[in-house]
Amino acid sequence: MHKFRFQGFMVYKDARGFRRELKLLSKKSFPKAEQFCLASQLWRALDSIILNIAEGTDRGTDKDFAHYLNNSHTSLNEVVACLDLAIDDGYIIIKEYNEYLDKAEQLANQITAFRKKLLDNPLK
């Protein structure tokens, strides 16, 4: 059992891995001129996915936690929009785009399933 229960959630662990991979890709692929623009926005959205999972964990009710998971999902939507802009601007190739879009979909499914579980069968 973790002192901080969010650290034990698979969705949290997978979100951290997704963040790590996508941050490395953006550092490698985005031009320096985007460091304080699109890359910065992408990194904030990636951080927000994880931070909302962590913040929601100890809210008063699982309904409150589900709200934070919804916020996490909306940040993931923002990450996907950043990927759309990156492919449009030629910063990443289609293979990378598709790979991370697939990973984003998997993470979205995890967040949605966890949120549904909380609302249907609250954690003890």
Using the predicted structure, report yes or no on whether residue 42 has a pLDDT greater than 70: yes
**Residue 15: pLDDT band by 50, 70, 90 thresholds?**
very high
How much is the pLDDT for 1? Answer: 57
Rounded CA-CA distance 53/8 in Å is 11
| Cβ 77 vs Cβ 104: under 8 Å | no
CATH number of 11-120: 1.20.1440.60
Q: Mean pLDDT, to the nearest integer, of 63-75?
A: 96
How much is the pLDDT for 123? Answer: 61
Q: Mean pLDDT, to the nearest integer, of 38-67?
A: 95
How much is the pLDDT for 113? Answer: 96
How much is the pLDDT for 36? Answer: 85
DSSP 8-state secondary structure symbol assigned to residue 37: T
User: Could you tell me the residue ranges of all domains in the chain?
Assistant: 11-120
Average pLDDT of every residue of the chain: 94
pTM of the model: 0.93
Rounded CA-CA distance 70/106 in Å is 15
How much is the pLDDT for 34? Answer: 87
